[in-house]
Amino acid sequence: MKYLNFLCGSLLSATLVFSGYAQADAPSQPYQLKNAARCAPHIGRGGNLEGHGIYYKGKCEGNGEPPSLDGGNVLEFKASGNEERKTDRSELAATLNQMQLGKQYYISVKMRIPKETSVTNDFFYVMQFWQGPNFSPLAGIRITRGTSHGGMLMARDKKYPRGHSVAKIDFSDGKWKNLIIGIRVKKNGRGAMQLYDTHARLAQWNGRLGYSSDKRALSIYRLKFGIYKAAEPGGNYQSIMTVPRIFDNLEDARTYFD
């Protein structure tokens, strides 16, 4: 199996510098969550995931609990509690895997939402694509308001902040869904998204995508995943997924499920 891995600078200086994607066989180092209990609103302080050529930074806020790792590559994210905060978050971010405008990417993941997850009445993302701190996710998988398991792959741009529906994903059976998300964000403010399972394309969407027309937006975008939602104290929100991987072609993306 081949992945897109980050290239790094000197580990002796504790500085990791992204300089572009390189496609290579993933190292055999197992996944590890480092300092999970220290996961905090300051990204990277704890709950960071390392292994197989990746480094994803953890971030936890509000009722969001530190992520946990089980079975070698299965991540569990939870947000439950009674804190009155604006946001609940238990999330990992591919901060070193900067996705370039104009390029096509495929993200492979196995995902499920446990049956005991509460109904949400506000925004709830289990995966998002991020183009800067001033903006809502430009795309992602979110749980539809008024449901507990009604997933939707969505796309967004500055002129349509509510977002466009690319495809519905029904998580109600609590079982694993094999998903490949195709995404291309162009510099001209347009783009395309696709949804695949292991065998076929399930959806195709083209339209306005991202915030490239806004000077505040970054010239790259990033993958984040776990739980990012408006705080709903007293609820029990969960998402479970294998470690997502980023590929530059569909053929390799499908090998993720071998």
What does the pLDDT look like over 135-177, one tens digit per residue? 999 999 999 999 999 999 999 999 999 999 999 999 999 999 9
* Separation between Cα atoms, residue 257 and residue 33, nearest integer Å: 22
* Separation between Cα atoms, residue 173 and residue 113, nearest integer Å: 8
* Residue 136, both tokens: 């809502």
pTM: 0.89
Residue with tokens 């506000």: 122
Taking alpha carbons only, the member of 64, 178, 83 closest to residue 125 is 64
Read off the DSSP letter of residue 248: S
Read off the DSSP letter of residue 253: H
Task: Answer whether 180's CB lies under 8 Å from 191's CB.
Answer: no
* Separation between Cα atoms, residue 106 and residue 169, nearest integer Å: 17
State in words which class domain 74-255 has: mainly beta
Question: For residue 88, how many C-alpha atoms fall within 13 Å in the half-sphere facing its CB?
Answer: 30
* Separation between Cα atoms, residue 60 and residue 199, nearest integer Å: 35
Tens of pLDDT, residue by residue over 73-90, are: 999 999 999 988 899 999
* Separation between Cα atoms, residue 217 and residue 76, nearest integer Å: 30
Mean pLDDT of 100-124: 98
Residue with tokens 């783009």: 191
Task: Answer whether 96's CB lies under 8 Å from 55's CB.
Answer: yes
Tens of pLDDT, residue by residue over 226-247, are: 999 999 999 999 999 999 999 9
Q: Which residues of 222-233 are buried (b: 16+ CB within 10 A; e: fewer)?
A: bbbbbbbbebbe
Question: For residue 241, how many C-alpha atoms fall within 13 Å in the half-sphere facing its CB?
Answer: 28
Average pLDDT, the chain: 90
* Residue 254, both tokens: 């499908």
Percent of the chain with pLDDT over 90: 85
CB contact set of 174 (below 8 Å; sequence gap of 6+): 112, 113, 114, 115, 149
